[in-house]
A and B are shown apart, each in its own frame.
Chain A
Amino acid sequence: MAYSLPLLATLAEPPAPGGSTADAELVAQLQQGSEAAFRTLVARFQGRVYHTAYSLLRSAEEAEDVAQEVFVEVYQTIGRFRGTSALSTWLYRLATSRALQHRRRQQARKRFGFFTSLLGFTDQALPEPPDHANPQALLEGAQQLFLLQQCIGRLPAQQQVAFTLRHEQELSYEEIAAVLGTTVAAVESLLFRARHTLRQHLQSTARHV
């Protein structure tokens, strides 16, 4: 199942627990057009936004691109932010949806690029996804982690987002539910299925190694 959030859906604030006073003040200043507030926002959240995008894309260049896009979008749409949800929840939602959108575009571009290369009027090289497997890493025992990351990348989008937010960003079930716009029970189900699939894949891979 493709996890896609249309623009309006990502702009709509998901109900989220918490939301600090500092963030509320920051939002108020941003809505007044304060550049210093925007600088503070970027400094405060750039690590989390970038890391979320990186976890889903596994590419530094693409994560950078998505993280920049997220902050540009925040700057342009902050006027519509009503402050009923945590700022971090909104940012996580933008980061995950934009990262997945970016990945879909890359996949579409790759398919379209193959078609145009057959016609002979392509003018740009298609970047291959980076291959993180190297003998040194494998020898150092990072093979399992590498395999896990590969398997995470092949999970259905919602499971992937839930798993990443839980096990890499260490968000609570409630926070993940707010980011995905779903219930805690649904998040539990997503995580259960994700773990089950991942363990099965890893076990079958271990049998064949």
Chain B
Amino acid sequence: MVKFGTYLRNLRKQKGLTLKQVEKTARVSNSFLSQVERGVRNPPRADILNRLAVVYSVSVHDLLEAAGYVTVKPGEMQERERVERAYQHAITDPGYSQGTRMKGQTLSIEDKRFIVRLYEEATGQRVLKED
């Protein structure tokens, strides 16, 4: 599994945010966040992860898992990572443009799976492959 700091940095980069912008919206010190991303500090507390989840548009459960606060069955983790990889593929395909109007701030793994299915339907590609 990817280290928590790297995972957090990737989420921030995907959103195109700077540490200062995250500091402002999530009310987390940018120096603290930088240290977490570099692996110098341990993952933040759950309440901070909750605020980061909103800013990064991921579920707080995903962050808690990545931080090691919640454990999931090995098969379930593998499935989540498989869907997440397929979802990242779908949303970064330059030939495919897509957007949503969401009920909340974050997408669950089921929502991501749904979006991947729509991507597969449109492009004819199979990205949610069985490992």
**Do A and B make up one complex?**
no
